[in-house]
Amino acid sequence: MKKVLAVLLVLALANVVILGVYVGRLRSRLGAEEAKAAAEMSKAAKDVAAAKAAEDKALDEKEALSASIEELEAEVERQKASAEAAWESRQELFDELAALEGKLNEELAKLGKKDEEEDKDGADIEGKPFMEVMKAMFTQDFMKTALQMQVPMQLKMEYGKFLDEYVQDPAQRAEAEAIISELLQNQMASLIDAFAAYPDMSKLKSLDANQEATKEMLKAALSTVLDGAQMAAFEERGRGGRGGMEEFGAGIQAQMSGMELNDEEMAAFKRIVREESQDSMDWPPTDADKLDELATMTVGDFINRQLEQAERTAARLAEVLPPEEVEKYRAFAKQQMEMFKMQLRMFTGR
């Protein structure tokens, strides 16, 4: 019996040991599982926090982007309004110039008709030396006044677009316009003074150089009232050279001649007129050789040269424009030369 109890006791103890080992292993396994679960929960928490942070950042970026889009849309609307205002101003200028030209042509036609009636047997203006007639015209008090009256119009034509786009502050614009107007007045005075000195050609031949020096003075004066970005825009505008004015003048010609052109045709018209004008004998010439050539011409020679240039232009226009529009240009060019002769007769007493 004692042996049986001893065996049972040994078995019980063995079971306790085995159970203890099993429980230990189970606890160890449970601890590992708990640690793993805790790690996974920690990682999940970090992922949630990162996702929340990313979401918050995305929302901030979205709000910033929305604000930026709204600002850009507002700027687009401002630019659109500015462009529309500039176009309306440009169209008003076209209409104003057309009206002035029409009125001038009417008055000159009356004067020309009267002159022809009073001087049928006199020498025609076309036979007179061109430079002498130009001197007589530029030294007339009426011409001096007329040139000074052109300053506001020239200011608008040459610098209006720049001022509209870059100088919106009224006080700043007034200062800039005063500086530019003084430059234009000085240029007009220099032109009159140079013609008054003829047949001494030195002032006429140095006119371009003097005007370049005056433009440098203009930039220095403007730099005192405009900021760096405005001056940079002004400098960039100046690199366009004479072409901008020629293109503007071409637009005036098209309107006043009654030409009806679409956008593509108008672009071609302006380009051709600008290119052909580079070799014309229009005043003022850009070099001494042209001045010397002008000094050998009669008024008739000069007019014929202009008509030949107009015909070359018409020949090129015929390649891109309808025939009826080219004829309008031809007729307008001839009319302008007739008006020019009438002007010379009026200013020189012929």
Q: Is the confidence at residue 282, as pLDDT, over 60?
A: no
157-169: pLDDT as tens digits: 788 888 998 998 9
Domain final residue pick, 239, 260, 278: 239
103 domain residue, yes or no: no
Structure tokens of 179?
Answer: 């500086």
Do residues 323 and 270 share a domain? yes
255 domain residue, yes or no: yes
Q: Write down the pLDDT at residue 236.
A: 81
202 domain residue, yes or no: yes
Q: Write down the pLDDT at residue 20.
A: 58
Contact 183, 170 (CB under 8 A): no
Number of domains in the chain: 2
Domain final residue pick, 239, 271, 286: 239
3-40: pLDDT as tens digits: 555 555 555 555 545 555 555 665 666 666 666 766 76
The continuous run of DSSP H or E covering 169 comes out as: none
Q: If pLDDT is split at 50, 70 and 90, which confidence band does 110 have?
A: low
Structure tokens of 133?
Answer: 């007639």
Do residues 255 and 315 share a domain? yes
Q: Is the confidence at residue 156, as pLDDT, over 90?
A: no
Do residues 275 and 319 share a domain? yes
300 domain residue, yes or no: yes
3 domain residue, yes or no: no
Most confident of 81-95, 261-275, 301-315: 301-315
Domain hosting residue 208, numbered range: 127-239
Domain final residue pick, 239, 266, 284: 239
Burial per residue of 245-284, b for 16 or more beta-carbon CB atoms within 10 angstroms, e otherwise: ebbbbbbebbbbbebebeeebbebbbebbbebbeebbbee
Q: Is the confidence at residue 120, as pLDDT, over 50?
A: no
60 domain residue, yes or no: no
Structure tokens of 8?
Answer: 């049972």
